Homo-oligomer: A and B are copies of this chain.
C-alpha cells in the first residue's frame, strides 16, 4: 500500500484543522470528526497518541475538547508522522530496535537506504503545520 497510512494522514489533517481553529479554545472531537469526515471512534485513537506525546491537551467534561500546546509553526510534519506511523524507516534493517544485519558489511544497498532515510527526514522536518494552513484572509481568521 501507500507509504503513509490513513492514521498518519488523518493525524496531520487534524493538526492542521486544529491550528486553523486554535482561537476557539477547546474543540470537541465530535466537531473535528465531522469537519474532516473521519469516524469519531477512529479519530479518538489517533488523538490519544497525540495527547500522550503532548502535542495536544485534552479537557474532559462539558465545554471540553482538544487544544494545541504550541504555535503551529513549532510542529514539524516529521514529528507528527513519526508518532502516528508505526515506521517511516525505508527498510526493515533500519527500523528502530532492528537486529543488526549479518550482511551489513558486504551489503551493497545499505548506503542507498540510509540516503533515502536522510532524504525523507529532511523533507518531513522542513515542513511545519503552519506551512500547511490556509493563508489567513479577511473573515477567515482574526488578529488578537
Interface assignment of A33: CB less than 8 Å from any CB of chain B: no
Give me 11 A-to-B residue pairs in the complex whose CB atoms sit less than 8 angstroms apart, sorted by A's number: A1-B86, A2-B90, A2-B92, A3-B90, A4-B90, A4-B91, A6-B92, A9-B91, A37-B103, A77-B112, A119-B119
Residues A72-94 near B (CB distance < 8 A): 77, 86-92, 94
Chain copies in the assembled complex = 2
Contacts A13-B108, A108-B134 known; A89 to B2 CB distance under 8 Å? yes
A-B complex: 6 closest residue pairs judged by Cβ atoms: A2-B92, A108-B132, A2-B91, A16-B108, A3-B90, A4-B91
0/1 interface trace, chain A 115-132, chain B, CB 8 Å (1 if under): 110011001000100001
Write out the residue numbers on chain B whose beta carbons fall within 8 Å of the beta carbon of A95.
2
Interface assignment of A109: CB less than 8 Å from any CB of chain B: yes
The CA-CA distance from A2 to B132 in the complex, in Å, is 26
The CA-CA distance from A90 to B133 in the complex, in Å, is 20
Contacts A90-B3, A91-B3 known; A16 to B119 CB distance under 8 Å? no
Whether B12 pairs with A88 at a CB distance below 8 angstroms is: no
Q: Which of B3, B109, B127 is the one whose CB lies under 8 Å from A112?
A: B127
Write out the residue numbers on chain B whose beta carbons fall within 8 Å of the beta carbon of A108.
13, 16, 132-134
